Amino acid sequence: MSVARQIPASVDTSLPRPVNNPHMNPTRSLYTCAQMRRIDDAACSALGIDGAALMQRAAQAAFEVLCRRWPHALRITVCCGSGKNGGDGYLLARLARQAGRDVSVIALAAPQDVDTQAAAEAWRCAGGFIHRFAGEHSLPPADVCVDALFGTGLNRPLTGAAAQLVEALNADAAPVLALDIPSGLSADTGAMLGACVQAAATVSFIGWKRGQHTGAGLDACGDSELASLGVPATIFDEEPAGACLLDWDELQRVLPSRSRNVHKGLFGHVLAVGGDHGMGGAIRLASEAALRSGAGLVSVATQPDHMAALLAARPEFLLVAVSGAQELDAALEKASTLVLGPGLGQRSWGHALWHRALASGKPAVLDADALNLLARHPRRFSTPVVLTPHPAEAARLLASDTASVQANRYAAAQAIAERYHAVVILKGAGSLIAAPGCSVAVCPWGNPAMASGGMGDVLAGIAAALLAQGLNPWDSACLAVAAHARAGDIAAQGGAGLLASDLFVPLRLVLGGGRG
């Protein structure tokens, strides 16, 4: 993967962890605002140019994106702030005017730094006028609007005229092209800081920003493009990224190929534990996902009243009727990996099975109520464990609230990994994978149709199957998230109404590509 996999000698090998690699591909690395400031300075030094020249490169790149996406746009409104993002906007406006477009520039405030002042003067010298924003109905008619109000350094909610201008852009019928990051979006976390531009497209300069690829950042940015501005890749060597996008080409090499002379015992035995009364569907989805992902054997330990339905649905399951925790022991002894939690419930039955399963010390994937029980009875794991919380479950694991988790998904994922000493999949738009003390991997695939019941059960089953086949927890989590999302993208081509079980056929195709 883009996130390197190395295990320092001092690290417990039960939990393989990635570490930062200074030679990561900058087109997949995600940076913080502080890192981008240092990279910008290093880029100017390496290229032998000043900030004004770099600003000109940014404007040229953004104008090229605008022309390619909206080739027939003749009326362009550029909204400029007082900082360097505004300078990019002034120079883009100048380029558009020189290309024969009808360009209006709306200024939120007077330019504050030297480079932006020079850019504004260049616009005036080209015959352009600067209009101060005069309220929510003052935007001129346009085919495309450009958001050049605030750059990556914004860390507070917009108020007053700034908030009004953002709301006016969102209310306008014209699509918005955001420069570097949509105004009002945290470039570090992907959280909206209040009023936030909802762009049709965003052109990000030099490097990706972390907030563009998870949570609210995905919708706010629209279609994102990266413009390197001619900065050489070596510039990034001294600034290792703390987060990276998953790389499918690398992930496919994680899953070993299969020779012809094999048998089911070579590919692990998953024991799925869950399915209290009325919740047999969850454990069935997780169990079938494990089979579809290549596990050699899958046993299902569940309430006796689910036996007939499960046997009829999937005769390939090995069924274990469990009325009490002691009845789980024989199945635990045979299993190589557990998936614990789908439909487990938090009654005494589920609680007893949870304790018994974790006491076995087997590698495990914890999902759903297994996570809620973990929040009530915290522990640090010394065996390979993958946790798969959605934001509400993550909040319980951190004794926090969902809004705080979504306000900084990166920090939340890392905090859970550290607290429980486990690999963590924080589900949601731009799912994150974290492990103690290391970089975060970000999933760039998936779609809104996957927001339906049972999808998390399927993901848990995939991760358990990969663990059972010998992958370490980090690789299992990353490959499971990627395969789940890519299978969902294939299955969702018809739009909404996607069922979790619809992923099973494309899942086999997706994972089959990794067995070359």
**DSSP alpha helix (H) spans, 99-157:** 114-125
Q: What average pLDDT does range 189-207 have in this prediction?
A: 96
Per-residue b/e over 430-447, b at no fewer than 16 CB within 10 Å?
bbbbbbbebbbbbbbbbb
pLDDT, residue 15, reads 52
Start and end residues for every CATH 3.40.50.10260 domain found in the chain: 29-241
Residue 13 pLDDT > 50, yes or no?
A: no
Where does the pLDDT of residue 25 fall: very low under 50, low under 70, confident under 90, or very high at 90 and above?
confident
Where does the pLDDT of residue 3 fall: very low under 50, low under 70, confident under 90, or very high at 90 and above?
very low
Q: Considering the domain 248-515 in this protein, what is its CATH number? A: 3.40.1190.20
Cα–Cα dist 72/64, whole Å: 13
The beta-strand segments (E) located in 169-287 are 176-179, 201-205, 208-209, 223-227, 243-245, 269-273
Q: Three-state SS string across 313-371, please?
A: HCCCCEEEECCCHHHHHHHHHHCCEEEECCCCCCCHHHHHHHHHHHHCCCCEEECCHHH
**pLDDT tens digits for range 385-422:** 999 999 999 999 999 999 999 999 999 999 999 999 99
**DSSP single-letter state for residue 257:** P
Contact (Cβ atoms closer than 8 angstroms) between residue 437 and residue 418: yes
- How many Cβ atoms from other residues are within 10 Å of residue 63's Cβ? 24
Residue 140 pLDDT > 60, yes or no?
A: yes
Q: Which two tokens stand for residue 260?
A: 């012809």
Helix (H), strand (E) counts: the chain: 18, 19
- How many Cβ atoms from other residues are within 10 Å of residue 282's Cβ? 28
Start and end residues for every CATH 3.40.1190.20 domain found in the chain: 248-515
Q: Provide φ and ψ at 29, rounded to 5°.
A: -85, 150
The beta-strand segments (E) located in 369-481 are 385-387, 423-426, 432-434, 440-442
**DSSP single-letter state for residue 7:** -
Residue 20 pLDDT > 80, yes or no?
A: no
Q: Considering the domain 29-241 in this protein, what is its CATH number? A: 3.40.50.10260
What angle (nearest 5°) sits at the alpha carbon of residue 301, between those of residues 297 and 307? Answer: 100
pTM, two decimal places = 0.93
Cα–Cα dist 87/97, whole Å: 15
pLDDT, residue 505, reads 95
Cα–Cα dist 31/208, whole Å: 6
Q: Which two tokens stand for residue 432?
A: 């994150």
